[in-house]
Amino acid sequence: MFDKNNLRHIDFLLLAQVACLIFIGIIMIGSADGWRLDQEHFSLDPMMKRQILGFFISLVAIFFILLLNYDKLKLFVIPLYVGVLLLLIAVLFIGVGSEAGIRRWILLPAGFMLQPSEFAKIAIIMFMAWFLNMYQDRINNLIILAVLAGLVVIPLFLIYKEPDLSTSVVVVSIIFFMLLNGNLGWRYIIPGVIIGTLLVILIYTDAMSENPKILGYYQVMRIKAWQHPEDYRLDEAFQTIQSTNAVGSGGLLGVGLFHSSGTVPVATTDFIFGIIGEELGFVGCMTVIILVLLVFIRIMIIAQRATDFFGRLLCIGVAVSFIFQSAIHIGVCTGVLPNTGIPLPFVSYGSSSLIASMIGIGLVLKVDSESRMA
């Protein structure tokens, strides 16, 4: 099952790009949490320590994935899918959240928090790749498609019930683009796009009505605050306004590392891009955006040279998850999108997000390693 020769072909360029994002993230997490570099008495911020620990755990996970023989990778698909389903169910009963009525994390010993929805994205990517690979010649059969739809809707529904609308949107994007690249016929794609567009219009129209019935109260208020921020500047729009002001105040080069105003809420997670804009300015923002695009492009290059359908779909799923989540986070921090509470992959604080994202990179590296050895 394991072979050390599998470690001979590793894409160090992709690893280096990801490592740059993680390094920027660790520094910015510390800055947002009030850490200052003291050369006489050097010690790391507690959040920085946990993020570094998460990074080393994720390296072990990548090492395990790379050691594993490629043909054995599919053996983990069903156990991972079932395990994630159980965690998603458990979080609805024993989970904790940042607000009343929200359950997204499972409290672990030593104060660590597990967010099952982050690992659900990886499980869905692997399951979709496995299923589409197995039925690639029959995916346009209505029964096969209905089975796939039922199996991916279950975790999607559980994520939505937490409620976690932003992750649900990312998962829907993953499913759509993997189907688009999985030989699904246009007779299903076009109606799906039309129905999806109509649903978005319906949800938005309902949210802006006097008596919304589709979304939860806090989700409706966030959409209204996005449309009319000044009307909600002291409550629902407060975070977004503070973030956009911080980005705007950064100018070209920023106010300087560790010199933020401290006015951006939840700056270590959902609004870390706002802190980057304030402290590092336009140059810092563009550096992060360019790194994000380079990682995405590198993953897609690996997808194109994958030697099998399963591997190509794995890479596409990881790439879509990464770029959509990054785009949503940056869009929220700059006021382009409603506040959704989603981390910036590899940069925001959170061990679950970091480990899950690195597992995705590990899968991409595995696909690349296999194509190099072919």
pLDDT tens digit at each of 374 positions of the chain: 766 777 788 999 999 999 999 999 999 999 999 887 766 667 888 999 999 999 999 999 999 999 998 889 999 999 999 999 999 999 999 998 877 678 899 998 877 889 999 999 999 999 999 999 999 999 999 999 999 999 999 999 999 988 888 899 999 999 999 999 999 999 999 999 999 999 999 989 988 888 888 887 878 888 989 988 888 888 888 999 999 999 999 999 999 999 888 889 889 999 999 999 999 999 999 999 999 999 999 999 999 999 999 999 999 999 999 999 999 999 999 999 999 889 999 999 999 999 999 999 999 999 999 998 76
Residue 169 host element (H or E):
helix 165-180
The three-class DSSP label of residue 306 is coil
Distances (CA, A) of 330 to 183, 221, 270, 299, 325: 32, 20, 10, 20, 9
d(CA 62, CA 72): 15
Q: Is residue 72 part of a domain?
A: yes
Q: Is residue 293 part of a domain?
A: yes
Structural domain for 51, as ranges: 7-30+46-373
* CA atoms within 13 A of residue 354's CA, in its CB half-sphere: 29
Q: Is residue 36 part of a domain?
A: no
Q: Is residue 23 part of a domain?
A: yes
Q: What is the pTM of this model?
A: 0.95
Q: Is residue 87 part of a domain?
A: yes
Both tokens assigned to 322:
């990464």
Q: Is residue 196 part of a domain?
A: yes
Number of domains within the chain: 1
The three-class DSSP label of residue 101 is coil
Q: Is residue 230 part of a domain?
A: yes
Residue-level length of the chain: 374
d(CA 178, CA 172): 10
